[in-house]
Structure 1
């Protein structure tokens, strides 16, 4: 995927093409880099403008404030990235009812999210940095998760519990275990230690094994 198409993908909130000028694309791309490296408070519009190769006034012609620029990046991604389970392609490809086992479900889930985060790590980093400081981002995230994700995950976990493939923990506890384990692995892999020598296939296998069997020898 080209950088330009990647930016359009981020800013798109539906299936229609987004018509962005070359300057808008450069500004958003520069903002993603600067916000990702320095956070919202540490970033300046002058630095974003410099990296984009435009005058600072040009930034403000397209985005009235620095926060508007941040929200133009983060808010539209809730359906595609931050509430990653919401994206139609994700729901359709992961939340199916024909898994032979809980292990099969975990393999599809983790590999799907691995590839997704691999492509969009900088924007996810921005979101994680800013969610605690911008209530509107947090509210949309929580609403998106409860509306689109919870029911589907709950149903699948209940089905595997009925098949005696999962221990009789409360379903919400199981979902929390899954979420923290998978998200923790992805954050370490792409955001905290991206330059480590990772054996991705082995790490995915180990993550699945941990969820299936725990740490007991």
Structure 2
């Protein structure tokens, strides 16, 4: 079994795929990530996969169905499992401090992103262009994750570690900071010289303390 097969099997969460389906999905991921969805034809995907174009349509009715088959699992796994799994860890004091939770979340999702870079790239590129992906995002991320993350925020607010602002604001600021860093690091500017550990720590400290310096007060 190749590395590609292992990644596909992990991403599809044990779903039974034929060898031809795996080849189609791998080829589609590579092509969509490189050229974008709209610029990629099913004939190109078929040629890259070494299958007849009709084989694609036997498994996926349209090119959009193929896109959704690729993106839905990565969307479901990009954020949700960590938040859902680690909610209990937070509530049972495995992460005594919000800062520890943030650090663990960043490292956990960074590892996932590195393993699934091409697929996440497709997700980021295509969400603004497809209403179906926006709906999937709402279903997998906005609804499932927000409810659990809200409990985490309330937990740390109750013991004074997070300021008393609406939970949705904490969620927005936290996720935009962490995923903004990851997208810049691995998609927008991967060729830059990054000190990963230092940049991760700066991101966490920004979430915890903002940018205000000792002389920032207006008074």
Give the TM-score category using the shorter length: 0.7 to 0.9
Unpaired segments of 5 or more residues in structure 1?
A: none
Q: Which deviations, in whole Å up to 9, do the C-alpha atoms of 1:85-105 show, x marking residues without a partner?
A: 2x2x65224652112211111
Q: Distance in 2 between matches of 1:33 and 1:108?
A: 29
Q: Distance in 2 between matches of 1:43 and 1:146?
A: 29
Q: Distance in 2 between matches of 1:111 and 1:32?
A: 24
The 5 Å alignment of 1:43-192 reads 43-81=40-78, 84-85=79-80, 87=81, 91-93=84-86, 96=89, 97=91, 98=93, 99-192=95-188
User: Is 2:37–2:126's contact at 8 Å kept on the other side of the alignment?
Assistant: yes
User: Is 1:8–1:18's contact at 8 Å kept on the other side of the alignment?
Assistant: yes
Cα–Cα, structure 1 residues 150 and 162, in superposed 2: closer, same or farther, change >3 Å? same
The 5 Å alignment of 1:191-206 reads 191-206=187-202
Give 3-state SS (helix, strand or coil) of 2:128's partner: coil
Q: Distance in 1 between matches of 2:42 and 2:8?
A: 18
Task: Report the alpha carbon displacement of residue 170 of structure 1 after superposing the two structures with TM.
Answer: 2.3
Cα–Cα, structure 1 residues 62 and 144, in superposed 2: closer, same or farther, change >3 Å? closer
Taking only aligned residues, the RMSD between alpha carbons, in angstroms, comes to 1.9
Normalised by the size of structure 2, how large is the TM-score?
0.86
Cα–Cα, structure 1 residues 132 and 36, in superposed 2: closer, same or farther, change >3 Å? same
User: Is 2:99–2:204's contact at 8 Å kept on the other side of the alignment?
Assistant: yes
Normalised by the size of structure 1, how large is the TM-score?
0.87
Question: Which aligned segments of 4 or more residues in structure 1 are displaced greater than 6 angstroms?
Answer: none
The 10-residue stretch of structure 1 (168-177 or 27-36) with the greater mean CA deviation from structure 2: 168-177
Aligned to 2:216: none
Cα–Cα, structure 1 residues 110 and 94, in superposed 2: closer, same or farther, change >3 Å? farther
The 10-residue stretch of structure 1 (22-31 or 167-176) with the greater mean CA deviation from structure 2: 167-176
| 1:211 aligns to 2:211 (yes or no) | no
The 10-residue stretch of structure 1 (111-120 or 127-136) with the greater mean CA deviation from structure 2: 127-136
Q: Which deviations, in whole Å up to 9, do the C-alpha atoms of 1:155-208 show, x marking residues without a partner?
A: 221222222222233222121110110110011111111232222111111111
Matched residues, number: 209
User: Is 1:11–1:76's contact at 8 Å kept on the other side of the alignment?
Assistant: yes
